[in-house]
Amino acid sequence: MTEFDYVIVGAGAAGCVLANRLSESGRHTVALIEAGGNDSNIWIKIPAGFNKTVYDARLNWGYETAPGPFIDNRRIKYPRGKVLGGSGSINGHLYVRGQAADYDMWAQLGCRGWSWTDVLPYFKRAESRIGGSDDVRGRSGPLTIEDQRDPHPLCIAYMGANEALGLKRTPDYNCGDQEGTLLYQQMMKRGRRWSPVDAYLRPILRRPNLEVVTRAMTEAVDLDGKRAVGITYRRNGQVHKIRARRDVVLCGGAINTPQLLQISGIGKPEDLAAIGVPVKHDLPGVGYNFRDHYAIRVSALVKGAGSLNERSRGLRLVGEVLHYAIARKGLLTSSPSHAGGYFRTRPGLESPDMQLYFAPASYPGGSYGTAVLDTVPGMTLGASQLRPESTGHVKALSSDPMAKPEIQPNYLAVQTDRDALLAAMKYLRKLLATKPLADYVIRENFPGPDCQTDEQWMAHARATGSTTYHPVGTCKLGADPLAVVDPQSMRVIGLTGLRVADASCMPRMVSGNTYAATNMIAEKASDLIAAG
C-alpha cells in the first residue's frame, strides 16, 4: 500500500488542475489516477481531430444514453474521454464561461461563495488571454484562449444576418454578459489544441511530490466508517490500494463520479440495492439532477463561399494539411462551431435562454454525428436551450466499475424546454432567409421546406436532436436534501476525507459549453481543499 496526502481520481479538466495546484507548494504528496492512457494520439493535438477522437474507442468510453421517452425512444451516442485530459482532450475546445447570472443563481440556491463576483478571480487565474478587459480576463494563467485565426466568410455572413434580425455583435461574450452574435473563442495555442494536460499537467510531471498513474481503473473509494481513507484500483490485472492521509478527491465528471460513489456504497439505498452493493452512506442525490444541453440543427446547400466540405477532400485537403503545417491555419484548426450567439426566445426574459451554433460545413443527411463531412457544399446552423428544466439521472447498473452506467438525460421532458426549442428552430430558418447569409443559400436541405407546422418542427427535434456533450449536476453543490457536496469545502456531505470537484458539482447548467466552468470549479476547489 502506498500513501499520499491527496489521491485524485480522474485526470480530466478538473483533475489536471487539482494535481497542479495541490502539489505546487511542495508540502504535500499527490497521486493522480487515470483509467485512460496517454494523450499522444495525433488527432488530439490537431484541433479538427475532434471529428476523429469522439468516435475512437481507444480514446473514449463509448457510452450511449438510455432510450429517451420524449425523443422517440432514441439512444444517443455519449462519448467521454478515456485519456489523460479526459473529455478536455477530445472535445470541441470552445471556451464559454456562461452568464454572470448563472453563478449568482448558484449562490441564491444556497451555494454561498459561488456568485459571479466570487468565481471571477478563478476564471481569471486560469487563463492567458489577449483581448477583452483586464477587469474580467486573465493574462498569465496556464490555459491559453485564442481567437479564430482565419474566420470563414460564411461565419461573417452568419453574424451579419443575426445583426439584421436585431442581435448585436458582442466583442467578448466571456465578460459575464453573453447576449449577441459572435465568433467562438478556442482553447488553442498557436493553432494547436491546448488541453488540460498541456496547460496544467505536462509542465509539472517532474515534480517529485506528484505521481501520475495511467490505465488504472478505480474500483472503489475505501471507507473506514464515515471517513474515506483511500482507493482501490486495478492496473494490468493487479489490484492496488492507495491510502490518502488527507483526502480522496473525485474528478471523474458527471458520469463516472456518481457511478464510482454508487459502487462504493454511497448513494440512494434503492439504487445500491439494485446492484447488490451494501449501503455505507445514504446520500439520495448521488446520480440525480442530471442536466445536459440538447441541440437541434438546420442545414443548407450553399454557393459561392467554398465551405469546409470541399476543402476536406482530394487535392484541397492536401493543400489544407500543408497550410496547417506552415501557418497553423485553415481547415485543421476548425471547431464543431465557428460562430454563434445568445438570444432570447420570448419577451420578458432577463437574459438569453438560447445558444446558437454555426459551422461552414455540413454532414450527410443533415445531422451532426458522423466523422465525415458532406460531399456537397453546405453549412449548419444549430441551437440549444441554455438552462433546460428537464432533468435525468446516472445510475450504476452493476458493481463492476467497467460496466457502463445508465445515462438518462430525459431530454425535452418539460414543456418550457420544448417551447424554447421550437422558437429557436423557427429563428434558424429565418436566418437562412436573411441577408447577407441568404446570398449564399441554394436551399435548405435539413429538415427541408416540407417542415412547416409546430408539430412537424417538434417531430424534427425529437427525431434528430442530439447531445452537446455537456453533462452536469449529478453530485450537486448545495444544502438541500438532494445536495451531495458542501459548497464551502467540496466535501461529500456526511463524510470526511472525500471531496468532489468536477462538472458533477454544478447545481444548475451554465449558459454554454461546460469546460470553462469545470476548470473554474477545480481552481476554486484547490484553494478550499488546501485550506483544510
The residues that are catalytic are 470
Q: β-pairing, 294-302 with 378-385?
A: antiparallel
C-alpha cell of residue 400: 463492476
The type of residue at 379 is: M
Q: What does the alpha-carbon distance between residue 51 and residue 266 come to, in Å, rounded to a whole number?
A: 36
The type of residue at 505 is: C
Cα of 143 vs its chain's centroid, Å:
16
Q: Helix, strand, or coil here: 172?
A: coil
CA atoms within 13 A on the CB side of 447: 20
Our CA angle for 215, 216, 219, nearest 5°, is 145
Q: What does the alpha-carbon distance between residue 65 and residue 196 come to, in Å, rounded to a whole number?
A: 26
List of long-range contacts for 263-266, beta carbons under 8 Å, 24+ apart: 263/219, 263/220, 263/396, 263/398, 263/399, 263/400, 263/401, 264/220, 264/221, 264/223, 265/223, 266/221, 266/492, 266/495
Q: Helix, strand, or coil here: 293?
A: coil
Beta strands in 283-408 (DSSP E): 288-290, 294-302, 339-343, 354-359, 378-385, 392-395, 406-408
471 prior amide bond cis, ω within 30: no
